[in-house]
Amino acid sequence: MGKTFLNLALVIIFHFSVGTFSMELTTIFTDQSALLTLKDHIIYDPQNVLATNWTVSTPVCNWFGVSCGFKHRRVTALDLTGLGLVGTLPPHLGNLSFLSLLYLTSNSFHGRLPVQLSNLQLLKYLSFANNSFREEIPSWMGSLTELRRLYLFLNNFKGVIPFSLGYLPKLEFLSLKENQISGSIPFSIFNISSLQAIVLGYNILSGSIPSVPRDLLSLQVIDFTLNNLIGHIPKDMFDHLPNLKRLYLNYNLLSGGIPASLFKCTELQTLSLADNQLEGSIPIEIGNLSMLQFLSIGYNHFEDTNLLSTIEKERERSAVKCALSILQVGLECTAELPAERPDMKEVAAKLKKIKMELLRAKD
């Protein structure tokens, strides 16, 4: 009886072992098949990277641009950035179910983004930037709820920004710059509390800037440069952006005045409002933005242009003075005789003094 029990146990163990092994082989072959299909959809590979490296005689996890997870040995990352590839994306890419990073930046992919990519529910980092996509941005991207970074800049995407992108609760960086996107900016975008940068410049967006309904403590960069945005900058917009560092609203059709709430953004380093139709007085509080390094608010209809000129000239004069001081320190460090060169402690003290002078000038 003991022998019979032992044989039964061995049969059960063998059965489950074979099943597990078979499942692992299947999933590995699924990933391999998806990538080989992508290879078949590429009509030009100028460096012959895929032609020579993506072969069945080489393990998938050793292929160029492919990374696999340690535990499951499934493909978790695909990075083919900058290879100059020309082709389309097959729906089979949606079978890479463990994928967390997909970077196809700086190639010449075109055609539609297959809806099967919405199956990639573990995807965190997605970049189709600098390609030749011409279709609309698909609404299914809003279903990739693990997404942290979405880069679609430098394409020819048209249509509107999908409202569904506001449903990406973990999104940190969104860049749709330099496309042909039209319509208004969906207010849902400013519902993403994790957002750190939103870059929508160089499109043909219209309508007004949506209000910010909640505190966005992580948001540091807003870039709406060169669109057709109209209306006033929302008065309370900056009440919810305490850590904003860079604001680009230049080259639009914005009107009204500079909202007083802007000066609550004490971390602001870049402020670009030039080439709009802004009017009224320039608030004197603009001089209180002590962290400001770049200011561009010309080519509007402000009343007190003398104040604007004074602020900009003062900052330029301080920057030039500090640059000359740094150059002087550099020249001292290159003295021909070692005895004439300052030691590192002295250099550090001089640079610290220059830094303090620059900060005082900003105040």
Q: Both 278 and 321 in a single domain? A: no
What letter does residue 60 receive in the DSSP assignment?
A: G
What range defines the domain where residue 26 resides?
2-304
Of 283, 304, 325, which residue is a domain's last?
Answer: 304
Sign of CA pseudo-dihedral 300, 304, 305, 311? negative
Whole-number Å distance between alpha carbons of 165 and 151: 13
Of 277, 304, 331, which residue is a domain's last?
Answer: 304
What's the confidence (pLDDT) of residue 9? 40
Whole-number Å distance between alpha carbons of 107 and 65: 14
Whole-number Å distance between alpha carbons of 314 and 295: 12
% of the chain beyond a pLDDT of 90: 70
Q: Both 262 and 326 in a single domain? A: no
The residue among 287, 194, 295, 277 whose CA lies nearest residue 243 is 194
What's the confidence (pLDDT) of residue 287? 80
Q: Both 74 and 208 in a single domain? A: yes
Structure tokens at 290: 């002590």
Q: Both 49 and 113 in a single domain? A: yes
Domain count, the chain: 2
**What does pLDDT average to over the chain?**
86
- Is the per-residue pLDDT at 10 higher than 50? no
Q: Both 237 and 320 in a single domain? A: no
Side chain identity at 276, as an amino acid letter? N
Of 280, 304, 328, which residue is a domain's last?
Answer: 304
CB atoms within 10 A of CB 159: 14
**Among 77-86, 241-250, 305-314, 340-349, the least confident range:** 305-314
Q: Both 295 and 310 in a single domain? A: no
**Among 12-26, 97-111, 203-217, 339-353, the least confident range:** 12-26
Residue 12: which CATH number?
3.80.10.10
What's the confidence (pLDDT) of residue 282? 85
Residue-wise pLDDT for 239-267, tens only, equals 999 999 999 999 999 999 999 999 999 99
Q: Both 170 and 124 in a single domain? A: yes
What's the confidence (pLDDT) of residue 315? 59
Identify which has the larger pLDDT, 138 or 72.
Answer: 138
Q: Both 354 and 219 in a single domain? A: no
% of the chain beyond a pLDDT of 70: 77
What's the confidence (pLDDT) of residue 284? 82
Residue-wise pLDDT for 174-232, tens only, equals 999 999 999 999 999 999 999 999 999 999 999 999 999 999 999 999 999 999 999 99
Q: Both 247 and 326 in a single domain? A: no
Q: How many helices (H) and strands (E) does the chain have?
A: 4, 18
Residue-wise pLDDT for 49-103, tens only, equals 999 999 999 999 999 999 999 988 899 999 999 999 999 999 999 999 999 999 9
Q: Both 281 and 228 in a single domain? A: yes
Q: Both 149 and 276 in a single domain? A: yes
Q: Both 190 and 248 in a single domain? A: yes
What's the confidence (pLDDT) of residue 17? 37
Side chain identity at 64, as an amino acid letter? F
**Locus of tokens 């320190």:** 329
Side chain identity at 170, as an amino acid letter? K
